[in-house]
Structure 1
Amino acid sequence: MEPIAQAKRRVRKNYNPEPLIERLKELLTERKESMRGASLASGLDYGYIQRIIQGHRPAMEAVILLADHFEINPNALLTLAGYPPLKVFDIRTASTENLPPEAVDVALAIARIPNPGERKQIADAVMTLLKKYFG
């Protein structure tokens, strides 16, 4: 088995930053947002975002934070950053076919909240209530 340090170096060598850089620039342009604004809103250091745009491979956590800020599926950015998609973000698991209509209505209402911070607070509050009353 290959040592983890060697595996990380191998992956780093094969990383092509261009697709991620292009997508991040598109997202910034679409939102009319600066790198500094995106860094503040995502909780990342401005210099860190600059290094990503310069071609450095970001950490997986940073990619997820950026995706959350830009309100896109993290798997879209993870694959551009050379990471495998994560099952937890797989949209196919969110099929509404097996859900009661009330659950779909709640999920859609939460999804319409434009502010990601407020949306997360509401979702957390709903989960807290569900755990309190239904275990």
Structure 2
Amino acid sequence: MPDLPIGRARLLSYEKPYDPQPMIERLKALLKKHNESYREAALRAGLDHQAVRRILAGQRPSIPTCILLADHFGVNPNEFLELAGLPKLKIFDVQDAQTEHLPVEAIEVARDIARIKDPGIRRQVAEAIRTLLAKYFE
């Protein structure tokens, strides 16, 4: 859907089935990491007090809800948009102009990770690599 106008892409995304499980798992992990209740997270994100509960019950969040929650938790909004089955927004595509300073191996690993289509699996692979690196630097 990247070539379509965002409004059209959003409408088409609602025609596809929504699997809430990846969003629910990610949201629960962030709630645990930030030690917040559903209500606290929703209110701190600028949403109504039931917004997070509705998402955890399986309701697809809207684009503004994804952006507000991502901002609150400090993650890229495109991660939440993708988990919600909504179109990603170009404005949140972060390109690092400093890749020429990275070793070739690091760029190759990053490209391999980026090819993983499922955002949940992609995040798990990235976290596994970070865990290995943390052990290495201990």
- RMSD (CA atoms): 2.3
**Secondary structure of the corresponding residue to residue 55 of structure 1:** coil
Distance in 1 (alpha carbons) for counterparts of 2:13 and 2:88: 17
Measured after TM superposition, the shift of residue 95 of structure 1 is 2.3
Q: Aligned residue for 2:41?
A: 38
The reply on whether 1:80 has 2:83 as its aligned counterpart is yes
Instruction: Tell me the secondary structure at the aligned position of residue 75 of structure 1.
Output: helix
Name which of structure 1's ranges 44-53 and 56-65 shifts more when overlaid on structure 2.
44-53
- Residue of structure 1 aligned with 2:15, choices 10, 13, 19: 10
Question: Whose RCO is larger (CA < 8 A, sep 6+)?
Answer: 2
Q: How many residues align?
A: 92
| Aligned position for 2:30 | 27
Greater C-alpha Rg: 1
Distance 2:93 2:61 in 1: 21
Please give the TM-score of this superposition, normalised by the length of structure 2: 0.60
Unaligned runs of 5+ in 1: 98-135
Residue in 2 aligned with 1:53?
A: 56
Query: How far apart are residue 30 of structure 1 and its match?
Result: 0.6
Equivalent positions of 1:85-124 (< 5 A) are 85-92=88-95, 94-96=96-98
Note the alpha carbon deviations across 1:102-130, whole angstroms, 9 max, x for none: xxxxxxxxxxxxxxxxxxxxxxxxxxxxx
> Percent identity at matched positions?
47
Q: Deviations over 1:35-67 (max 9, x none)?
A: 111011101112122111100001111000000
Superposed structure 1 runs of 4+ greater than 2 Å apart: 6-9, 94-97
Q: TM-score, normalised by structure 1?
A: 0.61
